[in-house]
Amino acid sequence: MSLLDVRNLTVTYPGGAAAVRGVDLRLDAGRKLGLAGESGCGKSTLALALLRLLPAGTRITGEVLLDGEDVLTMKWGRVRAVRWAGASVVFQGAMHSLNAVHRIGDQIAEPILLHRKATAAGAKRKTGELLEQVGLPAARADAYPHELSGGQRQRVMIAMALACDPRLIIADEPTTALDVMIQAQILRLIEQLVADQDLGLIMISHDLAVLADTCDRLAVMYAGRVVEEGPAAQVYEDARHPYARALSAAFPRIGDPGSRFAPQGLAGDPPDPAALPSGCTFHPRCPVALESCAEQDPALREAGPGRRAACVLAGPPPDAPLAEPQDPQALQEARPTTP
Ligand code: ADP
Ligand code: MG
């Protein structure tokens, strides 16, 4: 049985259109799945739906099986327990997630006291251990969030996520707000912790290069759907879906802001969920679209061993013609929206 088995997940915000549409994903214990896609493609919505962290009135259908148990039909008491001990989330921008008026040690200890029924002394000891695990001295427990740097605060968020020994960590753009060197340190830390503790990891980023470097498998989302999924190196280096190819062309190397051009031949933004194009939702931006792509929305289907893609051309050779790179100025202007 998979650690996480997401089946036909659809998420509709109150009064809105579906931001996630029929997503199927699986993750085994100890494995790392990267979720990529431009801003607005539904990555965070998907992540939040896994733990039912969405605003009241949001409609979630499908199944989210965590160790075989459907999170979507659980009683709330069980959901709360699962949020710490089953799976926990590390968000981008730790400053907003930490409480400014409480010492960080108390914030890390809180779920340990609550969900682990630990004694005060036991929680304090565990808090010190967690801080050391994420590379901070145990004595920093007495610090307030504003006394820490951005990278240190993100380490605290990771310590909190690990507090109740979850089996799955969901990291939503955990390094986006950090500078490149700190970003690399935090990524290595997450990788190390996941490997040491045999955790499952879902890492979300708009940067395919970061994900390819960190994860075993990659799923690329567009307009609320997974359009390509497969082994990380293959999706990054030899994508089957034109959107995934454009994304990997946009992020050729880690930590090199100068190389982050807009996706090759790919201007504009992903569509608003309330105004999806007909047929394949990517066809208006697709450099290799056929006439029929305006009518048919291809299902995600097998595109090689262990690979899936949602494109009628699924499997054009890697050197299939993409639009000629435009002049750098035009590319800059067409830069994809990043969070
Ligand atoms: P990503 O994380 O890939 O950038 P999101 O999941 O944040 O994408 O957003 C997907 C879509 O859902 C976007 O069109 C966004 O505007 C919409 N959306 C996100 N949060 C809300 C919300 N609380 N209420 C209504 N729509 C939302
Ligand atoms: Mg997001």
- pLDDT tens for 150-194 read 899 989 999 999 998 899 999 999 887 788 888 888 889 999 999
Strand order in the sheet with 4-12: 18-27, 4-12, 59-66, 69-70
What does the pLDDT look like over 39-85, one tens digit per residue?
999 999 999 999 999 999 999 999 999 999 999 999 999 999 898 88
Q: Is 204 exposed, middle or buried (0-12, 13-18, 19+ CB in 10 A)?
A: buried
Q: Is residue 32 part of a domain?
A: no
Pick the range with the lowest mean pLDDT from 133-142, 172-181, 281-290.
Answer: 172-181
Residue that the structure tokens 């060197």 belong to: 181
Amino acid occupying residue 204: I
**Nearest protein CA to atom 20 of ligand 1, as residue:** 45
**Full domain range(s) for residue 327:** 247-334
CA of 285 to the centre of ligand 1 (A): 20
Q: Is residue 274 part of a domain?
A: yes
Q: Is residue 294 part of a domain?
A: yes
Q: Is residue 307 part of a domain?
A: yes
**Nearest protein CA to atom 14 of ligand 1, as residue:** 40
For the chain, the domain total comes to 1
Q: Is residue 219 part of a domain?
A: no
CA 144 – CA 98 distance, rounded (Å): 9
**Nearest protein CA to atom 17 of ligand 1, as residue:** 19
β-pairing, 168-172 vs 87-90, is parallel
**Dihedral (CA of 247, 251, 257, 258) sign:** negative
Q: Identify which of 9, 13, 39, 172 to mutate to test ligand 1's pocket (most ligand atoms within 8 A of the CB).
A: 13
CA 192 – CA 198 distance, rounded (Å): 10
Q: Is 56 exposed, middle or buried (0-12, 13-18, 19+ CB in 10 A)?
A: exposed
Taking 70 as the threshold, does the pLDDT of residue 330 lie above it? no
